[in-house]
Structure 1
Amino acid sequence: MKIKNIVVGKVEAPLITPFKTALRTVHSIHNIAVYVHTDVGQIGIGEAAPTAAITGETLGSISCAIEQHIKPAIIGMDIEEMAQIMERIDNSIYQNTSAKAAVDMAIFDLFAKHHQSPLYQLLGGYRKELVTDITISVNDTEEMVKDSIVAVQRGFHILKIKVGKDPAGDVERIVAIRDAVGHAITLRVDANQGWSPKQAVQIIRTLEDAGANIELVEQPVHCHDLAGMQFVTANTLTNILADESVFSPKDAVTIIEKRAADFINIKLMKTGGIYQAQKICHIAEANGIACMMGCMLETKISVSAAAHFAASQKNITMVDLDGPSLCMKDPIAGGPTFDNDRIRLTDAAGIGFS
């Protein structure tokens, strides 16, 4: 089975409510869809999410990277040459990780279809069902409390609370949500790089003293401020999760060596796809560091690929794959089933799309 052509398209999905973080506000998903065609008529599918504030990519840059750099590098290669294909994708252009991820997952989709197996089974097959959190966008306290209650009513038991836009009011927001949903609900806090190291320590310690019982705090300070991450991790009891600080296996090694976080968040749009995500997961596991599987604002296409990878790995103990739950409707049929907080893998070959 040889790669014959790569076609770039678009996938769109309006959000149920605006997605707001310390970095951006989004009302509708506008992503790149990728279709890798083979000489036997089989098609692999992938998706790239342009997140300029994090990866530096746009719709135009992703399309250009795939069409002008990645596509010429792998056309004609046999799908069984996985290591060589992935090497060529990685070397075809510097960074552009979301563009690489879209093609990477399409290749993995084809590889699993070629072997007539669900992808998660080929990658390790550790489990078949996942439990995801759902994001509560940053807003005023009253609206965040309302959104949290609605999420719990929908059937979600883990909430990821976005903060960092207004550090002075973040404790109030989080405590109010805890009071509203009770202690049976797990709360994760994501500052999206919005705090200084001293602010982070003060806020987290205040939450600890208030008995807010936060499971973890994600990326409290700027991604390049590893000394700040070290400071926060060393001076708080709450677990710290590195997100934007970890794009590559090398980044994971650095975070672990510096003890700059307790957990690592793996996202395909940051790693450049499943191939590099495997390396990060294995490095973390070898060092006793658990991982979360996360996503950007993605539709069911790429979130399904991430779900297959997460389901295959024992060391991925936390899941933040709520993209489809934030959309008004699925843009594509097939794939895993997303039933509120439950993600269930099917026996369909590849990532589940025909």
Structure 2
Amino acid sequence: MKITKVKVGFVEAPLITPFKTALRTVHTIKNVAVNIYTDDGQVGVGEAAPTAVITGETIASITHAIEHVIAPVIIGMDIKEISLILDRMEQSLYKNTSAKAAVDMALYDLWAKKQRAPLYQLLGGYRHQLTTDITISVNDSEEMVRDSLHAVQRGFSILKVKVGKDARTDVDRVVAIRNAVGPNVVLRVDANQGWTPKEAVRIIGQLEDKGVNIELVEQPVHYSDLSGMHYVTNHTQTSILADESVFSPKEALTLIHMGAADLINIKLMKTGGIFQAQKLCNIAEASGIECMIGCMLETKISVSAAAHFAAANKNITMVDLDGPSLCVEDPIDGGPIFEGEKIQMTDEPGLGFLIENS
């Protein structure tokens, strides 16, 4: 099964409501899709999310990296040598993690199809069903309460609440949501780097004092401020989840050594795909650090790859794969089944998509 062609396209899906964080506002998902073809007629599929404020990548940079740097390196190689292929891709260019992730998941799709098995089973097969949270975008308190209640009505029992745009009112937002949804809904708070270390300690302390019962706070301070992350982690009772601070296995080692977070959020768009994500997950597990699997604004293609990775790994104890649930409609056929907060893996080979060779 040798690689004969790498084809880049695009995938687009409008969102039900605008996605708002401390970093950006998005109305429609517009991502890069990748098909990798082999000499026996198989097609592997992947996706890259251009998230310039986090990975530094754009549609143009992702397209160029795949077509002009990665593709020439991997064309002609045999899928059975997947580790060698992925290592050569990793060495072919610096960073460009979303571009690498799209190719990585397409390669794993082909590799699992070669074995005629679902990818999650080949990677470990720890579970066959996941429970995801859903994101509540940052808005005024009344709108966030309405969105939270609607999410609960849709069957979601875990809410990821975006804050960080206005430290003065963040506590009020979260308290209002807790009062509206009641004590049994799990609340996760994501500041998206929006606070200073002292603001984070003050805000989290107020939430603790008010008994809001937050499961975790994600990336409270700027990604580069590991000393600030350490300060927050060691001056609050609530678990602190590192997101933008950790892209690679090496960065995970540094963060863990510093004691700068209690948990780590793994995203394929940050790690460069499943190959590096598995290394990061193994390091975290060996260090007693549980992980979340997360996503950027992605469609079912790449979210499905993340779901396969999560289903395979015991140390992925939290799931934030709500991309398909945020879209007006699902533009992709096949793959895992997304029904409300439940993600059900199937027995279809690879990622589970049926892509025609054209």
Normalised TM-score (structure 1): 1.00
| Map of 1:205 onto structure 2 | 205
Partner AA of 1:77 in structure 2: M
Q: CA–CA distance in 1 between the matches of 2:8 and 2:331?
A: 16
Deviations 1:46-83 (A, max 9, x none): 00000000000000000000001000010000001111
Deviations 1:158-188 (A, max 9, x none): 0000000011100000000000000100000
Partner AA of 1:192 in structure 2: N
Listed as ranges, the gaps of 5+ residues in structure 2 are none
Q: CA–CA distance in 2 between the matches of 1:60 and 1:129?
A: 35
Q: CA–CA distance in 2 between the matches of 1:162 and 1:89?
A: 34
Q: CA–CA distance in 2 between the matches of 1:298 and 1:85?
A: 25
- CA shift, 1:332, in A, is 1.1
Q: CA–CA distance in 2 between the matches of 1:226 and 1:308?
A: 30
Q: CA–CA distance in 2 between the matches of 1:288 and 1:95?
A: 27
SS at match of 1:329: coil
Partner AA of 1:302 in structure 2: S
1:345 has 2:352 as partner:
no
| Map of 2:322 onto structure 1 | 322
- CA shift, 1:152, in A, is 0.2
1:168-187 matched pairs, under 5 angstroms: 168-187=168-187
1:236-315 matched pairs, under 5 angstroms: 236-315=236-315
- CA shift, 1:16, in A, is 0.2
| Map of 1:194 onto structure 2 | 194
Q: CA–CA distance in 1 between the matches of 2:69 and 2:145?
A: 46
Q: CA–CA distance in 1 between the matches of 2:329 and 2:109?
A: 23
Aligned length: 354
| Map of 1:79 onto structure 2 | 79
Q: CA–CA distance in 1 between the matches of 2:218 and 2:3?
A: 39
Q: CA–CA distance in 2 between the matches of 1:13 and 1:340?
A: 18
Q: CA–CA distance in 2 between the matches of 1:162 and 1:178?
A: 14
Partner AA of 2:287 in structure 1: N
| Map of 1:227 onto structure 2 | 227
- CA shift, 1:21, in A, is 0.2
Q: CA–CA distance in 2 between the matches of 1:253 and 1:210?
A: 34
Aligned structure 1 segments of 4 or more residues deviating by more than 2 angstroms = none
Q: CA–CA distance in 1 between the matches of 2:22 and 2:205?
A: 21
| Map of 2:216 onto structure 1 | 216
Normalised TM-score (structure 2): 0.99
1:65 has 2:65 as partner:
yes
Q: CA–CA distance in 1 between the matches of 2:322 and 2:277?
A: 19
1:104 has 2:94 as partner:
no
Q: CA–CA distance in 2 between the matches of 1:286 and 1:3?
A: 35
SS at match of 1:348: coil
Q: CA–CA distance in 2 between the matches of 1:89 and 1:31?
A: 21
Q: CA–CA distance in 2 between the matches of 1:333 and 1:82?
A: 26
| Map of 2:113 onto structure 1 | 113
Q: CA–CA distance in 2 between the matches of 1:272 and 1:42?
A: 23
Q: CA–CA distance in 1 between the matches of 2:141 and 2:91?
A: 46
SS at match of 1:81: helix
| Map of 1:126 onto structure 2 | 126
SS at match of 1:80: helix
Q: CA–CA distance in 2 between the matches of 1:92 and 1:152?
A: 45
- CA shift, 1:346, in A, is 0.2
Deviations 1:313-341 (A, max 9, x none): 00000000000000011111000000000
- CA shift, 1:92, in A, is 1.1
| Map of 1:94 onto structure 2 | 94
| Map of 1:331 onto structure 2 | 331
| Map of 1:144 onto structure 2 | 144
Q: CA–CA distance in 1 between the matches of 2:321 and 2:292?
A: 10
Partner AA of 1:86 in structure 2: L
- CA shift, 1:308, in A, is 0.2
Name the Cα RMSD after superposition: 0.3
- CA shift, 1:113, in A, is 0.2
Partner AA of 2:144 in structure 1: M
SS at match of 2:151: helix
Partner AA of 1:156 in structure 2: F
